[in-house]
Each structure stands twice: as C-alpha cells, then as structure tokens.
Structure 1
Amino acid sequence: MQFKHPEILWFLLLLLIPIIVHLFQLRRFKKTLFTNVAMLEKVRSESRKSHSIKKWLLLISRLLLLMCIVLAFSQPFSAKVNALKEKETVIFLDDSFSMGAKTDGVSLLEKAVQDIVQTVPDGAKFSLFTNHKTFNEVDIKQIQNELISLKAQSKQISYQNVLRKANTLFSNRGNVIKELLVVSDFQKRLGPITNDSLNIIDIHAVNLKPDTRKNVSIDSVFIDSELNLNVRYSGLKGENVPLALYSGNKLIAKTALESNSDSTTVLTIPTNEEIKGRLEIMDNSLEYDNVFFFNIDDKPKIKVLSISANEFNFLSRIYTEDEFEFENTPIGNLNYSAISKQNLIILNELDNIPNSLQTALASFLEDGGSLAIIPSNNMNQEAFSALLSRVGGFGITEKVTSEKKLTGITFEHPLFANVFERRVSNFDYPTFSNYYRVNGSFSKVLTLDNSEPFLLQNQKLYLFTAPINRENSDFQDSPLIVPTFYKIGLNSLNLSEPYFTIEQKNEIEVPTILAQEDLIKIVHNGMELIPLQQSYPTKVGLTFENNPEFAGIFSVIKGIDTLQHLSFNHSRAESKLEYLDLDQKGFASINTAFPLLFDQLANERAIDAYWKWFVIFALIFALVEVLIQKFLA
C-alpha cells in the first residue's frame, strides 16, 4: 500500500493521547471499608468490572476511529510500479494503400481512425504520425477532423524508420515511460521491427487484418503490336475477374481473367491511333490497383547526324525514317549551325577533328546531346584524345595491331536491357584486326576477349575503340550492330514511356524549344503541376520526384499547346497481401484492435484508492462508540 500524503501519518501519534488518558483513569487507590457499607461490596465489585470493560471498548473504538480518519486523509492506494511514472505516448497510424483492405465492410484505415477517435479520452496529450503527416503534442479534438479525412496513399515507410521517427517525437527527459502504439497491417515487405537500439521505448502493436487476403491487380503493361498486361493474383483461384479497356471514355475491349496464377494477358488495340488507355478490373479488395493508366502518343522523330570521311550506308538502314531523321554529311560539307539541332551525332571514322568541331561538340554535349565516336585506322590520336579529355575525362593511349574477338556483353546496361530474352553464351562474336587502348573513367558496354573495352560510355558520350569498316572488322555483319546503334539513338532522346511509376524518380525529355519566360506544366482535370525542368536547344528535360500525387493521364502543356501526354500509376508493391507473423519478441503487447490495447494500458495505469473505505470505517467506529455509550452500563 502507498500513500498520496504520507506526512499525515505523523498524526497517528495522537493515538497516544486517549491511551494515556485511559491509563490515568485506571490507576488504583487503596480504599477502607466501613461496616455500614460492607454489605454493598459485592454490588460495587460487579459494577466496577462492567465499567472497566466499557472503558476498554470505548478506547479501542476511539483509537480505530482516529486511525481511520488519519489514514483517510493520507489517501492510501495501490498501483503497479509503472503506473506512478509519467508517460509519453506516440501513435503511428499506417495510412498506406494496403490499409484499404476491408474488414466488416470498411477499410482497415477507416476502422483504425474510428477506434482512435472514440477511444482516446478528451484532453489526453499525445503525438501521432502517419506515413506522410505528423501531429506533435496534440489532443484528439485538435486532429479529429484531419484523421477522419485521411485517405490511403502511396507513401510507406519501413517499420525501422517508424521507430526512428517515433524516437524524434519523444522528449529527452529521463524516468519517463515512452510508449509507441503501432497501428498497422504489418506487411512483410517492410521488414521486421527490432527495438535493440531503442530499448527505452515500449512498443505496442495493433495488428489489423482484413477479412480476406484475396486480391487481384494489374501489375504492369508493355506494348508492341498488341497490349500485354501482367496480372497478379493473391489468394484467388478459379474465379473470373472482369477486365475492361478504355481509350478516354470509349470502350475498346472487354474480357474476363481466370485467376489461376500470375499471367500475361494480350489485348488487341487499334494501330496508328493515339490512345489514352485505362484498364479497369472489378475487385472487392484493394481499390487503388484496380485501374491502370497508359497512353500511346505519336512519338517525335529523333534527329541523328553522321559526320563521315567516306560514304557509309549501314547507319541509314538502322535509323529508318519512321523513327529517326537521319542525315549523313561529309566533314567537308558540315553545316556547324545544324549541330545544335541534333539529338545524336556520330563521328564515323574521321581521321582528324578540327578545333572548331571540338568546340562545337563540347557545347553540344553540355546542352544534353549524345555523341558516338567511331575511330578510323589512321586517326589523329592527339586530336581525338584532346576531345575525349575535354568532354569525357579519358584519352587514347596507343594503337594495338592484334586480332581480338568481341566476347563480353554487359546485359544489364541500358543499351541491352530487354534486348535479349536470355544471356547468350555461344554468340557469333565479331573480330577486329586493330583497336585502340584508352584510359580514364568510363563504363564498359562491350568488351574484347582480353577484357579491354570495345564500346564504352561516359554519360552521353559513346566511344568505339576499333574501326568497324569491313577491312578491320566483320562487326557490320554481326547481329549486335543493330541493337547497339539503335539503342544509342533511342537513348539520345529520353522519350516518354507508356506509363511511369509515381514513387520513382522519372526523367522525361520533351522535344520542344522554350522561350525565356515559358514554362511547361502538366494538367489533369483542372489540376496543374509544374515539374522541375531544364531547357536545352532542342528539348526540355522534365524531372518528377514522388509527384504527381495521384494516378492518371496528364497533358503536357506549353502555353495553349498540348505537346503530349504522360500516364502515371502507383507502385503495385502493396498489392501482394503478405503479412508479418508477429510474436511477443520486441513488443510489450500485441492486440487486434485499438480499444483492446487502450483497455490494457488503462488497466496497467490504474490506481486503486482506499480513502473512501477508511471514511466508511471511521463512521462505523463512531457508531460503535455511540452504541457502547448507550447500551453498556
């Protein structure tokens, strides 16, 4: 038992007063009996015994009465040790897309918000944060409306980052119990919770689970002559899921997906037609992944200029007019003003590079252009090294006359990503009679059998280390030549993809020219967003980082002109309903609902007060004293 006012217990010393008085009244005196009263001795003896009992009972009742009064004013109570310590509470409310799964007809997020609003008492101070909002030192009335308006969204932080964020919201005071309440569905992909470095925090888990773990989502799409979409199934088997394809508000195709396993579905789409695509499925679990946006616009042609010493026609067969504006010009007829208008320039086996061309090419690269250099058998190494040192930080050291075979392909390099269905080991690799050694910092794309590079890259500069004319190599007859030069051409202008993922950094190049005060903005249903943008002579680079905030098809606007369209979708990472199996390790408690956790914490903080009982006992002993006075002689 503990006391709120233990200093009042000193008043128990007052119990000595009635004891002293009582003892004083019990002192014995020697009495002399006279003959005329001797006959009353027997009666007096019996009366004296009765009177002594009465005094002892009165003493006991008064002592108990006084003791109960003193104890009542000292306010005795009992409680657990931690119940008396000051507490700080931080709540993490998971508002990610996976919390949109249903339980009892409402989403997990809506259920959690209702429970928090209804359970947390008015006036209680706490901090609360979600994946994208923070409320520090508030009470429930201050944030009630904002909590009710919360919608599931894409941003999701790992559980270890939840602990780090919570730790910043607690004070630095010692002897304070810090309690973190984690309200989440605990998706497995976000990793476990380990409290080793933050053991001053008591973590209480509210582990919410949907009624069912069934879900179907459109994971990704890719387009060739047809539309190919990858569909992911979780917990579904043998169920038909309706699928519809729209272009704007026009229904293009409709089918049913049989949910047996993750699969690719092929849909026929109109050819040579712009499409603002929207794929929709009917699924009663997560809603955010039921719609997938994509678009097919007329792609602008990429401008490629080949500066050659001789007539080469293999490049014109690669850079066809349906995708490229290709021009080949001898160096003697070069129009320098045309350089800045190109996306890709190829120096095709030039023997020398004039200083004026070096300066023009350096400016071209600085303005975002791409440059590919194919050396000649008799090139001026000093001139080329000067250019390479100026724009790439490396140079040519020597010419090597030794037959080498190209044997290494960096399959993960952007030039060859998605080019090969599998890694080829028995490829018919080309050979080279002569090549040049280089030094500096670069990434290898293709390598010779001695591990020296044949094609290397430094940002938007590509260098072949060997001539590819038929006298020096059979590279022109190799199946590698087409994807190599074709992808160099495609990468020279970062054209828009059919769709982009919002949670990633996306960089897009729009082939347009901006005046000094012009801006490009993207527009969707009246909402405007101005992305980060950088203007170049022939294009504008747009950068999107975690924006826009919602999925849809956006128009790219310059002034009053619509240049193209961009489609954005949220990542499908949360569509796979896989959850952590929580155990008691690392948690102070695990509950399935917020009210259950709050009741548990309330019981742990409960204080049982006993002062009322001592008041009742005091009244009882006062009544006992009255009864003793009245009924005992």
Structure 2
Amino acid sequence: MTFATPILLIGLIAAGIPFLLHMISKVRAREQKFPTLRFLRQSLEKTSRRRRVQNWLLLLLRSLLLAVLAMAVAEPISRATGGWGDTPGQAAVILLDNSFSMAAGTGGNSRFARAKKNATAILSGDRKPSLAGLLRTTGPIPSGELTRQLDTLRKDIDTSTINYAAASLEQRFARVIDLLAGQSNPRRAIYLFCDLQRLSLEPLLKLPNLIEAKDMHLFILNCATGAVSNVGVTDLKVSGRAIVDVPVEFHVTILNSSPTPRTVDLVFRVEGSARGRKQQVIKKLAPGGKNGDSAVVRFGHRFSRAGYFTGEVRLMQEDDLLVDNVRRFCLDVGERVRVLVVRGPVTGAESFVLDPAMMLGLALDWRNNAQEEIPWPIRAKTIDADKFAPDSLKNVDAVFFCEVPSFSTQTAQAIGQFAATGGTVVFFLGPGVRVENYNQRFFQADGGLLPGKLAAPVGQVGSGAEAIGVDKVIVTHPLFQGLFENTSDYLKTLTQRYFKLEVSPGAGEVLMRLANGDPLLVERRVGEGRVLWCTTTGSPRWTTFPTTGLFLPVMVRAALMGGQRRSADESYTASLPVTIRLPQTDSAGEKIRVTLPAQPAKPKFRDVTADEKGVVRFVDTHDPGVYRWEAVGVDAGAAGLLQESAAGAFVVNPYGPESQLDAYTPGELKAALTRRGLQRVYIGSSLEEIQTTATKDSQGRNFWDVLIVLVVVLLVAEAVVANRRSPTPTPTE
C-alpha cells in the first residue's frame, strides 16, 4: 500500500483534536448536598452513566472521521503484484505442453495448435520479451540459456510436434526457475500453455523449489476450450507365457473421459490370424469421474507357431482424441518348451508309480503317440543319470533330476551355468542321494545352487509311520497362484520321510513348509534362472505330493518358466530405449536396419550398430506404431542380406495415463498455486485476458473513493449519536 500524496498524511494529527478538546473542556463542579433532593440521586446516577457512554462513542467517531478524511485526501493506492506494465522488455520462458492430451480438439482445431499460435504471439508484437527461452513438457530438456534470437524460437515453436511419452512438467518448471533466477531484469515471466490436466499439474504443485518463483509472473493459458468426447485404451497387459500352445490372456483397460456415458466397440486383432479378428466386445462406460468410467476387458489367444507376432486392440468409434483409440502389442513367441528328465537308478521290481521319472514325464507331457497332434506346449525327454553329460543341456529349457545319487564337478558346473542363463532346474531327492556329494558340488557359503546345507533324511516309511502335513504354501507365487480358490486345497500333502535342509537367510524362499517348520519345496534364484529343491521324492514312496491335485500344474508351470527365456513381450512406451540382443554369438559390430512406422517427413529407416556384446540400443522410439528390424551385416548397404535368425519387431505405444483428461478449473489451480506461495498467477483462456489482468494489477487500486464513502458513513453516525435524546418522562413517573 502506498499514497499518491503522502505529505497530506500529516492530517492524521487532527484525529487527536476531539480528545484534546475533551480534556480542556472537562470541568468538575463543586458538590453541594441538599437533603430535600436526595431522592433524585439514584435517577441522576443512571442518567450520568448513560451519557458517559454516549460521549465516549461520539469522541471516537469524530476522531475516526478526521483520520479517515486525512487518509482519503492522501489517496491510498495498492500495488500487490509488483510492476508489470504494458511495455516490452521482460525476460520470459515459454513452457509448451506437447503431451498427447493436447492433441484433443473439436472442429479440426486441436489444443496444441491453439497453444502454438499463442506462444508465437508472445514473441511478436509490442509486448515481446527482450530475452526468451522455450521448453516443452516432453522430450529433451535444453541446456542453453535465454536468447535474443526470437525468430529462432518462433521457428522452433512452429516445428514442435506432439510427443507420446510421459510429460514431466515439474522437471521443466524447475529448469525454468533456474533460467530466470539468474536474470537481473525485474520483469520475469513464465508462460505455460497447457490444458490444466491434473495428471501433469499435480507433480508441479509438489515441486520443492516452487516457492522460488514467487517473484515471477506466471501466466497460464488454458488451451482446452469446451468439453471433449474421448474414450481411450490406457493399458494392455499380457498374462501368461508367450509360448506355442500356451493360452495367453490380454487384459485391456479402457477409460471414458467424456462428460456423458459412452458405449464402445472394442476389437482385438492378431496379425495374420482370422481368429483374432473375430474377437469383439461392446462395453458401456459411465461419464468420466464417475464409478464405472473405466473397465478391464479380457481377450484370449493361443499361438500355434513361434516367431514375432504383432496385434492391436482398437476402439471402433472415433472421438476427439484419436491417438489413444488403439494400443498395440508385440510378442516374441517361443517354441514349445523342451524338458529333460534325468532318472536316478531304479530296480526292476519297482512299479511304474514308484518311478519318479515316469510320473514326472507323465505330468509334463501326458500325450501318447496317437495324441501328438493335440496342442501341448511341452516336449519332454527322459534319460538315465549315467547318460547325463554337460552336452545334454543343449537346446533344453528345463531339467528335472529325479533321485540322482551324485554329480561330477563338470556336470555340476554345467548345471549352474544352465540356471544362470535362464534355465529352470528342479531336484527331487530320495533314496540313494549322497548328501556329502550334493553339499560339495552345490553348496557354497557365498553362492551355489543349494540354498543351505543338506542333512541326512529323517522319518520312517510305512503304513504305521507318522506323516507330517503342510501348514504353509506361498499361494501368491507364480507356481501356485490361482490354482485353487480355498487355501486348504493347497495343504493336502502328507510326507513321511524327507531330507533336512537348513535354508540360509536370504539364500532362498520356502514355497512349501511342513507343519514342523522344515522346508518341503524351496526356490533359489540363480542369475536369470531358478532352481527348485524338493526335499522328498517325486514319487509316492515317501510323500503324497505326486498324487495331489497340486503336483501336475506346479510341475508344468516350473517347466514353462524355463521357456520364458525364449519368449518376450516386445511392447514399449514412447521415448523409452529398446534393447535388441542379436542371436549370433559373434554379432559385435553387426548392423541392424530398423523400419520406422509410417510418418510424414521422416526417413523410413534407421541403421544401428551392435556393441561388443551384440546388443543394440535403439532410442528413436518417439512415434507409436510397429517397428521392424533386420540384420544387414557389418558393412550395411542397400543390398544387405536378411538373416531369418536375426530379424524381429517391437511396438511403441503412447503413455497410457495421459488419456485421463480430468482437469483443474482455473480457480482451483490458482488457489493451489497461491497456497504454495505464488502470488503473481494469472490464468485465462486468452493472452489478452491474462496480460490485461496483470497490467491492471500492476497499476494499483486507488482507494480514495472507498474512503470518501466511509467519511460520509461516519458523518451520519456522528449526527445520530450527537442528536440522540432521552425519552421525556411521563407525569406518572
């Protein structure tokens, strides 16, 4: 607050005149007692008290009247927002929201086009800044300083495009604060062109150093005009293993951001699959922000051959934001899982049911020769333990050892290497297992395949022997998840004899535990693979585990886990790097050619060279769509030969949550920024509106007229109090 004529504030001294006159004129009369008037004393005292209150009130009103009159003639003016003015020369940074929600629009005019037009206008005309900079909410953060080359910035704005990655407004805003903090120009401005989307602005409101912008003018242009109609596919998750003949589920999330209910047709397609094209779902969604505005739709598919498969889920109805109407996927479908079952010594007198290798082979692949055409994802092969060698693990995804007595150093090392490179190894213990050999070959204090030291077996076998139940199963583990609805169905295994295993802390996870606390099934992660230890037999000799409903699905899942290293989900979010591992062991220096999705004014190919490990890191993933790559040799050229074993694909999708178009109102956003300490915030739907408001605030508000009104009110109040009379007594009083 300031005053146009502060010298006139000397008139405030006049406020003390009524008090001074009151003190001067105050005379105390001499008291004389008259006995005949003593009956009037009580009435006089009451009247005196009432008049004393009235006199003090009158005194205060007259003093206040003189004080307000003195302030009015001095003309008080407020300047709450600092000087902005209507002249050029400020230092300004333009923050342009180029996330894909800005692609929404009606009538052929998108929010982003409106933002670019107004951002260009900032750098033109009479109000253009002397220094300026440009940042976008997605894409690289520029490292340069502010520039006077406004023409260059205008061209940069004109060539700006929508980016489909996650926006990071808070990081850009922190950079803006750094750019302007070093400027000596007192007129510093931040121009934010956005759609007030909550998803982008909520992280900004939590920015720790947001208060550093309190002395800067923040102009926010709301580029969202009117309500838009949009239903988007925000997520697509693959459930199951991408292996031949394994059912795969696709969980698709759709979200309605429209103010009205929407009914949509959702179509699922797999490239080259007529079956995929027939899958269609009609879904009703509540208005945005209401219960039922989103839904998860499930589609299923079974791949009959290996290789790269692309597909999509598409909304058939067009709306005001087209980019999120489709979401793509790419799966590198692996061959059927190849399992090796290694059988320990068996006697001829043992029945089929007591041969763990036979029971396991039946669980893994139940088909006979006449049923080989029936789809099944596992191909199992059984060999005797004395035939097993390191070479036996070639072209194998999982290996099961059934009561193998011992291992050589060479085979133990080969098994460890197999697990470390992504294979699954399962050990079933039993009669004939040599504890010392296992501990020597597989247990190490700082590693090894055994999660702890193995001890001699305990328990007796027979009809009268004690059997121990299972009291705990990790039902959330992928081996068990979803097999049964009731937990009690997981706990039906009884075991009479088993090997003691003391699991070292952090060395493994006990997946099945006996009621006495000893482990029955333990998992140890080794490199990219896993090792499972069953401390009892794989046959009913010592336990009922192989005869329960748990055994078959758990063994199948364990085998399929080994096949995961031959399959992959090749779906990525825009602007994230893609890693391609070439299959050849001698592929260092190999070049691959990546075919980009069809986009105007962009080259069709990118050539990338593999590093010394045969790994290619591809970073040009800004556009959604299907990317295909192929090896073209060390000396890449137009005549490069395609190697079938070195070709593949991947897909890029927009950042799914960006489809949430829920936005702040201008009032909500301004209040939130004000709570964070920013006072110079202007939000509007046009540049003229926000700049005019800032200019008006910078000129201040003259409160002379308000004070004159207050003077009149005080005069009226003084007159009322001064002329107030006591009611005339009636004769009866």
Query: TM-score if structure 2 supplies the norm length?
Result: 0.61
Q: Decide whether aligned partners of structure 1 residues 189 and 555 sit closer, same or farther in structure 2, where only a CA change above 3 A counts.
A: same
In structure 2, stretches of 5+ residues that fail to align are 3-77, 240-246, 286-291, 346-354, 366-371, 460-466, 598-603, 633-641, 701-733
Tell me if structure 1 keeps the 8 A contact 2:94–2:119. no
Cα shift at 1:591: 0.8
1:462-611 aligned at under 5 Å gives the runs: 462-469=531-538, 470-492=540-562, 493-496=564-567, 500-502=571-573, 512-517=583-588, 518=590, 522-525=594-597, 526-528=604-606, 530=608, 548-559=621-632, 560-562=642-644, 563-580=647-664, 581-584=668-671, 585-586=675-676, 587-588=678-679, 589-593=681-685, 595=687, 596-601=689-694
Tell me the SS of whatever aligns to 1:83: coil
Q: Distance in 2 between matches of 1:84 and 1:506?
A: 44
Q: Distance in 2 between matches of 1:503 and 1:531?
A: 21
Aligned letter for 2:535? A
Q: Distance in 1 between matches of 2:511 and 2:179?
A: 52
- 380, 385, 391: which one pairs with 2:434? 380
1:328-347 aligned at under 5 Å gives the runs: 328-347=382-401
1:438 aligned residue: 503
1:1-20 aligned at under 5 Å gives the runs: none
2:232 aligned residue: 217
Q: Distance in 2 between matches of 1:534 and 1:304?
A: 32
- 124, 143, 146: which one pairs with 1:137? 146
Q: Decide whether aligned partners of structure 1 residues 308 and 496 sit closer, same or farther in structure 2, where only a CA change above 3 A counts.
A: same
Aligned letter for 2:83? A
Q: Distance in 2 between matches of 1:486 and 1:338?
A: 21
Q: Decide whether aligned partners of structure 1 residues 426 and 384 sit closer, same or farther in structure 2, where only a CA change above 3 A counts.
A: same
- 470, 473, 487: which one pairs with 1:406? 470
1:121-520 aligned at under 5 Å gives the runs: 121=124, 122=128, 124-130=130-136, 131-135=138-142, 136-138=145-147, 139-172=149-182, 179-190=189-200, 191-192=202-203, 193-194=205-206, 197-202=209-214, 203-218=218-233, 219-220=235-236, 224=247, 229-235=252-258, 239-243=262-266, 252-253=277-278, 257-260=282-285, 261=292, 262-263=294-295, 272=304, 276-281=310-315, 282-294=317-329, 299-310=334-345, 311=355, 312-320=357-365, 322-386=376-440, 387-389=442-444, 390-392=447-449, 394-399=451-456, 401=458, 404-416=468-480, 419-420=482-483, 424=487, 427-432=490-495, 433-435=497-499, 436-444=501-509, 446-448=511-513, 449=515, 453=519, 454-459=521-526, 460-469=529-538, 470-492=540-562, 493-496=564-567, 500-502=571-573, 512-517=583-588, 518=590
Q: Distance in 1 between matches of 2:592 and 2:516?
A: 49
Tell me if structure 2 keeps the 8 A contact 1:442–1:457. yes
Q: Distance in 2 between matches of 1:263 and 1:236?
A: 16
Tell me if structure 2 keeps the 8 A contact 1:93–1:182. yes
Tell me if structure 1 keeps the 8 A contact 2:670–2:683. no
Cα shift at 1:575: 1.7
Aligned letter for 1:132? G
1:113 aligned residue: 116
Q: Distance in 2 between matches of 1:175 and 1:328?
A: 81
> Structure 1 vs Structure 2: percent identity of aligned residues?
14
Tell me if structure 2 keeps the 8 A contact 1:344–1:371. yes
Q: Distance in 2 between matches of 1:231 and 1:452?
A: 47
Q: Distance in 2 between matches of 1:146 and 1:272?
A: 50
Tell me if structure 2 keeps the 8 A contact 1:443–1:457. yes
1:35-114 aligned at under 5 Å gives the runs: 82-83=82-83, 88-102=91-105, 105-114=108-117
- Identify which range, 201-210 or 264-273, moves more after superposition: 264-273
Q: Distance in 2 between matches of 1:445 and 1:507?
A: 35
Tell me if structure 2 keeps the 8 A contact 1:234–1:577. yes
Q: Distance in 1 between matches of 2:410 and 2:207?
A: 64
Deviations 1:515-565 (A, max 9, x none): 344466654454347598897xxxx98888x77333323335345134554
Q: Decide whether aligned partners of structure 1 residues 220 and 201 sit closer, same or farther in structure 2, where only a CA change above 3 A counts.
A: same
Aligned letter for 1:446? L
Q: Distance in 1 between matches of 2:428 and 2:577?
A: 31
Q: Decide whether aligned partners of structure 1 residues 108 and 438 sit closer, same or farther in structure 2, where only a CA change above 3 A counts.
A: same
Cα shift at 1:114: 1.1
1:623 aligned residue: none
Q: Decide whether aligned partners of structure 1 residues 569 and 356 sit closer, same or farther in structure 2, where only a CA change above 3 A counts.
A: same
Cα shift at 1:116: 0.7
Aligned letter for 1:299? G
Q: Decide whether aligned partners of structure 1 residues 97 and 603 sit closer, same or farther in structure 2, where only a CA change above 3 A counts.
A: same
Q: Distance in 2 between matches of 1:303 and 1:314?
A: 17
Deviations 1:293-347 (A, max 9, x none): 2357763223322333145123333444842342222220113223243232333
Aligned pair count? 527
Q: Decide whether aligned partners of structure 1 residues 94 and 514 sit closer, same or farther in structure 2, where only a CA change above 3 A counts.
A: same
Q: Distance in 1 between matches of 2:670 and 2:264?
A: 36
Tell me the SS of whatever aligns to 1:373: strand
Deviations 1:248-270 (A, max 9, x none): 59983486735334445577989
Aligned letter for 2:256? Y
Q: Distance in 2 between matches of 1:561 and 1:383?
A: 46
- Identify which range, 481-490 or 354-363, moves more after superposition: 481-490
RMSD: 4.4
In structure 1, stretches of 5+ residues that fail to align are 3-77, 608-633
Tell me the SS of whatever aligns to 1:134: coil
Q: Distance in 1 between matches of 2:121 and 2:567?
A: 48
Deviations 1:462-481 (A, max 9, x none): 23241243222222223333
Aligned letter for 1:137? L
- Identify which range, 249-258 or 307-316, moves more after superposition: 249-258
Aligned letter for 1:437? E
Query: TM-score if structure 1 supplies the norm length?
Result: 0.69
